[in-house]
Chain A
Amino acid sequence: MQRVLFLTIVAAFAIAAPFFFYSVTLMTIMCFVVFACSFNLLLGYTGLLCFGHAMFFGGAAYVTGYVLQSTPLSTELAILAGGAAAGLLGAVIGYLTMKRQGIQFAMITLAFSQFIYFIFLQAPFTGGEDGMQAIPRNDLFGVIDISSNLTFYYVVLAITALCVFIYYRVVHSPYGEVLKAVRDNQPRVESLGFDPEKIKLVAFIISAAMAGIAGGMKATVYQFATLTDASWPVSGEVILMTLLGGLGTLTGPVFGAAIIILLNDYLAGFGEWALISQGVILLVVIVFFRRGFVGELSALKRSFLRRKTGSAGSGTPAAEAIKARS
Chain B
Amino acid sequence: MFEGISTQLLFGQLLLGLINGSFYAMLSMGLAIIFGLMNVVNFTHGAQYMLGAFVAWLLLNHLGLGYWYSLILAPIVVAGFGMVMERLLLRPLQNLDHLYGLLATYAVALIVEGLARYQYGSTGLPYENPISGGVNLGFMFLPYYRLWVVVFSIVTCIVTWLLIEHTKLGAYLRAANENPRIVETFGINVPKMMTLTYGFGVGLAALSGVLAAPIYQVSPSMGSSLMIVVFAVVVIGGMGSIMGAAVTGYMLGIIEGLTKVIYPEAASVVIFLFMIVALYLRPAGMFASKESV
The reply on A49 being an interface residue by CB < 8 A is: yes
User: Which residue of A99, A107, A275 is within 8 Å of B231 (Cβ)?
Assistant: A107
Q: Give chain A's interface secondary structure class.
A: helix
Name the B residues within 8 Å of A110 (CB-CB): 228, 231
Contact A272 B114 (CB under 8 A): yes
Name the B residues within 8 Å of A96 (CB-CB): 276, 280
Contact A276 B293 (CB under 8 A): no
Contact B110 A286 (CB under 8 A): no
Name the A residues within 8 Å of B96 (CB-CB): 290, 326
Q: Digit string of B31-64 for contact with A (CB within 8 Å is 1, else 0)?
A: 0000100010100000000000000000000000
Contact A279 B109 (CB under 8 A): yes
| Closest-CB distance, A104 to chain B (whole angstroms) | 6
Contact A111 B113 (CB under 8 A): no
| Closest-CB distance, A179 to chain B (whole angstroms) | 17
Name the 10 nearest CB pairs between A and B, nearest first. Answer: A279-B110, A276-B114, A279-B111, A115-B272, A282-B107, A272-B118, A283-B107, A275-B114, A272-B114, A107-B235
A→B interface (CB under 8 Å)? 49, 96, 99-104, 106-108, 110-112, 114-115, 118-119, 121-122, 232, 236, 239, 243, 271-273, 275-276, 278-280, 282-283, 286-287, 290, 326
| Closest-CB distance, A94 to chain B (whole angstroms) | 13
Once bound together, how far apart are the Cα atoms of A96 and B279, in whole Å? 10
Of chain B, the residue at the smallest CB distance from A236 is B106
Q: How many residues of chain B get a CB closer than 8 Å to chain A's CBs?
A: 43
Name the B residues within 8 Å of A112 (CB-CB): 272, 276
Name the A residues within 8 Å of B108 (CB-CB): 279, 283
Once bound together, how far apart are the Cα atoms of A128 and B279, in whole Å? 29
The reply on B158 being an interface residue by CB < 8 A is: no
Contact B292 A272 (CB under 8 A): no
Task: Please count the residue pairs between chain A and chain B whose beta carbons lie under 8 angstroms apart in the complex.
Answer: 111
Name the A residues within 8 Å of B104 (CB-CB): 282-283, 286-287
User: Which residue of A49, A102, A111, A279 is within 8 Å of B292 (Cβ)?
Assistant: A102
Complex interface residues of chain B between 277 and 293 (CB less than 8 A to chain A): 279-280, 283, 292-293
Name the A residues within 8 Å of B293 (CB-CB): 101-103
Name the B residues within 8 Å of A107 (CB-CB): 41, 231-232, 234-235, 239
Interface centre among A110, A119, A121 (most CB of B within 10 A): A110
Name the B residues within 8 Å of A283 (CB-CB): 89, 104, 107-108, 111
Contact B113 A121 (CB under 8 A): no
Once bound together, how far apart are the Cα atoms of A283 and B90, in whole Å? 11
With A276-B110, A287-B89, A287-B92: A111-B275 Cβ-Cβ less than 8 Å: yes
Once bound together, how far apart are the Cα atoms of A121 and B272, in whole Å? 15
With A103-B292, A275-B110, A279-B108: A114-B118 Cβ-Cβ less than 8 Å: no
16 A-B contact pairs sorted by A residue (CB < 8 Å): A49-B99, A107-B232, A108-B235, A108-B276, A112-B276, A114-B232, A115-B269, A115-B272, A121-B268, A275-B113, A276-B110, A279-B114, A280-B107, A286-B93, A286-B100, A286-B107
| Closest-CB distance, B283 to chain A (whole angstroms) | 7
Contact A103 B115 (CB under 8 A): no
Once bound together, how far apart are the Cα atoms of A278 and B108, in whole Å? 10
| Closest-CB distance, A285 to chain B (whole angstroms) | 9
| Closest-CB distance, A48 to chain B (whole angstroms) | 11
